[in-house]
Amino acid sequence: MLSLRIHMLRRYTQTVTDMLSELQKTEESLKKFKKGKKGGPMGSSLLVGTTSNERSMSDEDKIRLQVLLDVQGFGQQLKNCGVPADTFVPYRNLRDTVQKYENLLT
């Protein structure tokens, strides 16, 4: 049973890593495209809002935040199943993958 959890977490971690990497590449391509348009209707910012003082989270950051919340929820489910998520190395690796996005929680 433990090896199944480890295998599952490794696959989940790889999937999350791949998805976040592709998201980053897409975001960079979009920035280059917008920069090339210079002054198009969306401007050069990935933030949206009606005024410069009213900015909201980009779609990319919303995806990152959702992945972070999913990983945190998964950790809670592990704890509910009796697995000490904080010391379970495969889960810690997964958590470390998304930890840099915790600033999106504020």
Q: What is d(CA 6, CA 40) in angstroms, rounded to the nearest whole number?
A: 48
Q: What is d(CA 76, CA 82) in angstroms, rounded to the nearest whole number?
A: 10
Per-residue pLDDT reduced to its tens digit, 58-100: 999 999 999 999 999 999 999 999 989 999 999 999 999 999 9
Q: Which residue has the tokens 């975001």?
A: 27
Q: What is d(CA 83, CA 69) in angstroms, rounded to the nearest whole number?
A: 19
pLDDT at 48: 52
Instruction: Provide the residue ranges of all domains of the chain, joining segments of one domain with +.
Output: 1-13+61-106
Does pLDDT of 4 surpass 90? no
Alpha-carbon distance values, 8 to 1, 15, 16, 37 (Å): 11, 11, 12, 43
What's the pTM value of the predicted model, to 2 decimals? 0.76
Q: What is d(CA 12, CA 3) in angstroms, rounded to the nearest whole number?
A: 14
- Do 91 and 9 contact (CB within 8 A), yes or no? yes
